[in-house]
Amino acid sequence: MNIFAKTLIITAAATLAACNDIAENERLIPMESVKAERAVLIEDFTGQKCVNCPDAHKTIEALEEQYGDKVIAVSIHAGAFGIAADYTRYTGLMQPEGDTYNDMWGITAWPAGVVNRTGGATTHDLWPAAVRTALALPTPLDIDIDVECSETDLFIQVECAQNQDVSGNLQVWIVESGIVARQDSNAGRINDYVHNNVYRASVNGVGGVPVSLKAFEHKVFTYTQPLRATDTETWVPENLAVVAFVYNKDGVVQAARQKVNE
């Protein structure tokens, strides 16, 4: 039984409420040492009107094929080449937060990406080396995610376990794959392009929430995220995933991804 399953038995259905509904001391449970395997986060800044951006998507696909679920990519549509999600002429994929994240890294040319929030924004040809370097580094933190889906909401539980004290921010995002929408390319406009790993929403704020995690304890965070269904943006539950990561001034400590349909 994994650490999430143990916690689920203890906390039961009450953990599906907002995280501040549970007393702090009730969410801290002593545990034995954990062995954490690192996953690497790639924040891919992209746009549907960016003709070179499909090349970066291919780089991500190659890295996912090589490293499997150890590479967690999030495509954040932003900047001058993005199409807003509330645009009515085309299906747009750019959320308002996209430019906030983009500006945080000072990105002015696309595609660009940040690997594990270290080293700043780079071009996609440098991502494989950065991923390889990041995967070789140890991490004290293990993150487990569980997601339940109703007709209207996602119920998300994120569990953190660690071998040493960890401080930083916990960020929880919703991403969606399999979105068929316009994408410009060097070969022309592709109207039925399949967009994957698309940033859809931040569950716990643009910067996440501060966390202070003690060694050999684990902490559970629970959130409820409404599913979106509007004239311009409709989430398909079976194509959704939750991405959670803890980061601090040194970069991403650990990341995890969980598909809704699994």
> Residue 204 is part of a domain; what is its CATH number?
2.60.40.10
Q: Which residue in this structure is represented by tokens 């494989």?
A: 128
What's the confidence (pLDDT) of residue 9? 39
Least Cα distance to 35 among 111, 134, 139 occurs for: 139
Q: Please, which residues have CB within 8 angstroms of residue 86's CB and are 6 or more apart in sequence?
A: 92, 232, 233
Phi and psi, residue 30, nearest 5°:
-60, 145
Least Cα distance to 38 among 172, 165, 136 occurs for: 136
Q: Give the total number of structural domains in the chain.
A: 1
Buried/exposed code over 174-190 (b: 16+ C-beta within 10 A; e: otherwise) = bbbbebebbbbeeeeee
What's the confidence (pLDDT) of residue 6? 40
* Alpha-carbon span 53 to 56, nearest angstrom: 5
What's the confidence (pLDDT) of residue 261? 76
Q: Report the sign of the C-alpha dihedral through residues 131, 136, 140, 145, in that order.
A: positive
* Alpha-carbon span 221 to 190, nearest angstrom: 40
* Alpha-carbon span 259 to 147, nearest angstrom: 8
Q: 151 lies in which domain range? A: 3-259
Q: What is the mean pLDDT of each run of 10 residues along the chain (262 residues)?
A: 40 37 42 67 98 98 97 98 94 97 97 97 98 96 97 97 96 98 97 98 98 94 97 96 98 98 69
What's the confidence (pLDDT) of residue 36? 59
The answer to whether 91 touches 182, Cβ cutoff 8 Å, is yes
What's the confidence (pLDDT) of residue 35? 52
* Alpha-carbon span 164 to 99, nearest angstrom: 35
What's the confidence (pLDDT) of residue 164? 95
Whole-model pTM: value is 0.86
